[in-house]
Amino acid sequence: MKNIVILISGSGSNMAAIAQTAHKEAWREKFGVRIAAVISNRADAQGLPLAKSLGLATELLPHRDFASREAFDAALMARIDLHAPQLVVLAGFMRILTPGFVQHYAGRLINIHPSLLPAFTGLDTYQRAIDMGCKVAGATVHQVTAELDHGAILAQAVVPVLPGDTAGALAARILTQEHLLYPQAVRSFFERSA
C-alpha cells in the first residue's frame, strides 16, 4: 500500500477534497494508494473533526509544545515516518519547514500555494495580485524545497481577476479551483510512479 500523510493547520478543505476524490475515484483499488493519516499542529484545526468524519486517522502534534522549530520538525518527521509515506501533502499547513525536514522528504513533499508561482510567494497573495493589476491569478501545486514557495511546478489553475474584486472574493474563486487541482496533482504523482 502506498501511503499519503496530509498535514493541516486549519479548515482542511483541500485535505477533504483529496480524500473525497480518492474515495470517488477508487485510488486504493486503482493505485494501491490510501491516506494513512492527517496530522495537525493545531488542536483547534477544523480539519481534524472533518478528517474523522471522512473515516481518516488523525493525529495532533502542537508545535507550541516544542522549544524550537528544529525540535518540532524532528518530532513531526518521526510521527510521519511511522506511516512510511510515499507522499507528504501540505494542505494549509501553516509552518515554515526546516531544511532538514524538506531534505528528508525530497521528491515526495508537495504543497499548494494560492498564486501562479513564481509570482507572489509568501502571504497576502490575493490582495497583492489585485494591487498589481493582474488580469489573472490562481493556484500552484509544487514540490517543496528549502526556499519558501519555490520548487518544481506540478500543476496550476488560472482564475480571472474581475473588476472590483476583493481579496475575499478572489480567494473564494481560487479555493474552488484548488479543490479540483490538488486531488488531480496527487493522482498524477501516483500515476507517474505506477
> What are the b/e assignments for 72-96, b being 16+ CB within 10 Å?
bbbebbeebeebebbbbbbbbbebe
The conformation of residue 59, written as its DSSP 8-state character, comes to E
Quote the strand ranges of 1-115, DSSP E.
2-8, 33-40, 58-60, 85-90, 109-113
* Catalytic site includes residue 63: no
Q: Do 185 and 110 form a contact (C-beta atoms < 8 A)?
A: yes
Catalytic residue among 113, 142, 150, 179: 113
The torsion angles phi and psi of 55, rounded to 5 degrees, stand at 80, 20
Give the sheet arrangement for strand 2-8, strand by strand: 58-60, 33-40, 2-8, 85-90, 109-113, 136-143, 153-160
The conformation of residue 63, written as its DSSP 8-state character, comes to G
Task: Look at residues 58, 14, 9, 61 and name the one whose alpha carbon lies nearest to residue 37.
Answer: 58
* Rounded Cα gap, residues 163 and 23, in angstroms: 38
Indicate which residues carry an active-site annotation: 113
